[in-house]
Structure 1
């Protein structure tokens, strides 16, 4: 794969992860800071195999983050339609 295509893939992955990090549920985790440090650490890679491995790891992080967001949405919807046991006990007391 040519260096320009690899560079474009890395930049696109960085942008996607940066956008995903804006809505990360735990602000104390510093998703964007960790992501930036990860990219800076791998900046000097020259072996195509190592570069591909780093890209695959970044894509894995992206997919896991998307799964986390989907789970968060599902849990929110579940709370909206199915009250928790604590809410059930307080409904009739008002």
Structure 2
């Protein structure tokens, strides 16, 4: 048994957990995740496995950022009225011109 196996299993579990909030649905995400892991199951070289783990961790961070962005947008919709939002957008546009 490879010493990297626990890391791979932990990464799979993390990705499954964060995939619950995937926009296209959990089943879609779970199926794609399973196919991706099955595709790499024959790797035996530690360097290649490490590279695949790093890629999986990158994907996890990207999904996490999407989740935070979605949460931020929902909070903003609930707490910022449209007049304030228009003022903020105008200020941002002025700032971008500088």
TM-score, normalised relative to structure 1: 0.79
Aligned to 1:7: 5
1:65 and 2:63 matched:
yes
| Equivalent residue for 1:38, pick from 26, 36, 60 | 36
Equivalenced residue count is 83
Aligned to 1:79: 77
Q: Which runs of 5+ in 2 are unaligned?
A: 84-98
Q: Which runs of 5+ in 1 are unaligned?
A: 86-94
Shift >3 Å, 4+ stretches: none
Question: Once the 2 structures are TM-superposed, how far is the Cα of residue 84 of structure 1 from its aligned partner?
Answer: 4.0
Question: Once the 2 structures are TM-superposed, how far is the Cα of residue 24 of structure 1 from its aligned partner?
Answer: 1.4
TM-score, normalised relative to structure 2: 0.76
| Equivalent residue for 1:47, pick from 38, 45, 48 | 45
Secondary structure in structure 2 of the residue aligned to 1:30: helix
Q: Distance in 1 between matches of 2:74 and 2:51?
A: 35
CA RMSD of aligned residues (A): 2.0
Q: Distance in 1 between matches of 2:68 and 2:50?
A: 27
Q: Answer whether contact 2:20 2:26 (CA < 8 A) is retained.
A: no
